[in-house]
């Protein structure tokens, strides 16, 4: 804590324990201290390289113009082009996007991808827009970002509230605004595109798939068998629903799910495929007929082996952490646990599989997609899955080795393994000029 406060004084920022960006910086400071990194390095990483805010008008279906605010935060590019998703969410703000951009730098470094970290957002509830409005907003946001994105500079991808269709509009807008002779290169301007437009096999399920590989690797060492565990899920969007389907294939039992429409429970187990169909129709898990409706507090209190937060940040916090009745939290979302909640969980012996290890499957397959685009190739699903598994196992091994060497928990170890790589590269490159 003392170290992070020093950084805050230096940067003339005021510490706020509930601010997610400040929370992420605490982890960076803690890991940097353990690694004995020079203070200058911490300062470099404490602030993003570029924070871009744009305001742009969009023509709405009723004929009016509405003004929107968008962000792209480019945190660090010492390891390669900036990389990270774009989210559409009504609560998006700059500090939130900054926190998520730092986490992207950590993920790409931990997984040894040739990328830095970035994140973007538009402050909008995408559910409140028609498809046409969503398209016009996406095209106008892409135009507003201009030269700030590009296949060799900063490569967006889907995140909360965005999907392959939105990536298709970004790609189309970008390639139309740039050199027609470089249209092929332009395909790499973002990842997570539809298969027909240069997307990769396995990208849609990649975050869920990556998590499954982490669980297969780590659960046995924690005394659990993936085929026999009971688990609950926060969120049933892309990551949650793929996790549900892939866990079902392995025989794990899904007993409770919470999302923005409600919470459901069944001690016999919830059928992930049926729930998937229901959510596609109704927009959420609330009202699912083959399970019992429960309250949010009952969801957090449900007894399970593994709780998997797969939605937004800070879902496990002061308010609900004391209710938890699980042995392991496997963080499929970005920063789903607040540091205060984490302290309590550690005291209670709840083990944490940290986010930057668990949820990097998405960006890893994004890297495969970008590679395929650069080589004008398409890889088959078996190959993508096998390459992803290799990368996940290497990241697990790196995290465990770091934990043993530095005698710390997996969370701190995952940050240390990432920071060590960044620090070494800074040392080799030196600071320009």
Question: 108: number of CA atoms within 13 Å, CB side?
Answer: 29
Nearer to ligand GLU, 239 or 304 (CB): 239
Is 338 among the residues that bind ligand GLU (CB under 6 A)?
no
Sheet with 253-259, side-by-side order of all strands? 292-294, 262-265, 253-259, 230-234, 303-309, 325-330, 351-353
Is 237 among the residues that bind ligand GLU (CB under 6 A)?
no
Is 159 among the residues that bind ligand GLU (CB under 6 A)?
yes
Binding segment toward ligand GLU, per CB under 6 A, in 146-154, 261-269, 317-325, 356-364: 356-364
Nearer to ligand GLU, 83 or 398 (CB): 83
Is 232 among the residues that bind ligand GLU (CB under 6 A)?
no
Vertex 255 angle, CA 297 and 330, to 5°: 80
Which one among 70, 198, 210, 362 touches ligand GLU, defined by CB under 6 A?
362
Is 85 among the residues that bind ligand GLU (CB under 6 A)?
yes
Nearer to ligand GLU, 118 or 275 (CB): 118
Nearer to ligand GLU, 192 or 199 (CB): 192
Residue 329: which residues within 8 A CB-CB, separation 6 or more? 306, 307, 308, 309, 316, 336, 337, 345, 350, 351, 352, 353
Binding segment toward ligand GLU, per CB under 6 A, in 32-40, 78-86, 178-186, 257-265: 78-86
In angstroms, what CA-CA distances link 247 with 51, 82, 236, 244? 38, 32, 13, 5
Question: Coil, helix or strand for 150?
Answer: strand
Q: Is the peptide bond before 433 cis (omega within 30 degrees of 0)?
A: yes
Gyration radius of the chain's alpha carbons: 21
Tokens of 65: 């113009």
Is 151 among the residues that bind ligand GLU (CB under 6 A)?
no
Residue nearest to ligand GLU (CB): 85
Is 117 among the residues that bind ligand GLU (CB under 6 A)?
no
User: 315 to 334, contacts with ligand GLU by CB under 6 A?
Assistant: 334
Q: Verify whether residue 119 is a known catalytic residue.
A: yes
- Nearest by Cα to 313 from 292, 335, 293, 332: 335
Nearer to ligand GLU, 100 or 135 (CB): 100
Nearer to ligand GLU, 25 or 110 (CB): 110
User: 11 to 30, contacts with ligand GLU by CB under 6 A?
Assistant: none
Which one among 74, 366, 373, 414 touches ligand GLU, defined by CB under 6 A?
366
Q: Ramachandran region of residue 2, left (φ > 0), alpha (ψ -120 to 50) or beta?
A: alpha
Question: Coil, helix or strand for 69?
Answer: strand
Is 205 among the residues that bind ligand GLU (CB under 6 A)?
no
Question: Coil, helix or strand for 112?
Answer: coil
Catalytic residue among 83, 98, 107, 119: 119
Residues forming the site for ligand GLU (CB under 6 A): 83-85, 157, 159, 191-192, 334, 359, 362-363, 366
């Amino acid at each position: 804590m003392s170290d992070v406060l020093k950084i805050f004084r230096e940067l003339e920022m005021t510490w706020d324990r509930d601010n997610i960006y400040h929370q992420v910086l605490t982890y960076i400071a803690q890991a940097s201290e353990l690694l004995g990194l020079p203070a200058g390095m911490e300062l470099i990483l404490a602030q993003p390289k570029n924070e871009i805010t744009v305001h742009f008008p969009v023509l709405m279906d009723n004929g009016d113009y509405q003004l929107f605010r968008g962000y792209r935060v480019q945190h660090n590019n010492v390891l390669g082009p900036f990389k990270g998703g774009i989210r559409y969410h009504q609560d998006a703000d700059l500090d939130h996007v900054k926190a998520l951009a730092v986490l992207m730098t950590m993920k790409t470094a931990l997984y040894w991808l040739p990328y830095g970290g970035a994140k973007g957002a538009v402050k909008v509830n995408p559910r409140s827009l028609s498809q046409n409005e969503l398209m016009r907003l996406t095209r106008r946001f892409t135009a507003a970002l201009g030269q700030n994105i590009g296949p060799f500079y900063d490569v967006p991808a889907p995140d909360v509230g965005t999907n392959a269709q939105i990536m298709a509009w970004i790609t189309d807008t970008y390639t139309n605004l740039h050199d027609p002779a470089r249209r092929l290169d332009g395909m790499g301007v973002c990842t997570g595109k539809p298969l027909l437009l240069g997307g990769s096999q396995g990208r849609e399920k990649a975050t869920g798939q990556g998590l499954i590989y982490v669980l297969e690797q780590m659960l046995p060492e924690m005394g659990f068998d993936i085929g026999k565990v009971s688990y609950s899920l926060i969120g049933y969007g892309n990551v949650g629903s793929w996790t549900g389907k892939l866990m079902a294939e392995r025989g794990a039992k899904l007993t409770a799910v919470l999302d923005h429409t409600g919470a459901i429970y069944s001690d016999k187990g919830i059928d992930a495929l049926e729930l998937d169909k229901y959510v596609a129709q109704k927009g959420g898990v609330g009202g699912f007929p083959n399970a019992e409706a429960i309250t949010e507090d009952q969801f957090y209190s449900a007894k399970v082996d593994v709780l998997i937060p797969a939605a937004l940040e800070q879902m496990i916090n002061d308010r609900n952490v004391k209710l938890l009745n699980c042995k392991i939290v496997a963080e499929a979302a970005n920063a789903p646990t607040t540091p205060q909640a984490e302290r309590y969980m550690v005291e209670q012996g709840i083990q944490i599989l940290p986010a930057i290890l668990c949820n990097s499957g998405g960006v890893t397959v994004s890297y495969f997609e970008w590679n395929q685009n650069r080589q004008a190739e398409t890889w088959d699903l078996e190959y993508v899955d096998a390459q992803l598994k290799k990368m996940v196992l290497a990241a697990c091994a790196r995290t465990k080795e770091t934990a043993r060497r530095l005698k710390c928990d997996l969370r701190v170890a995952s940050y240390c393994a990432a920071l060590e790589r960044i620090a070494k590269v800074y040392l080799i490159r030196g600071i320009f000029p």
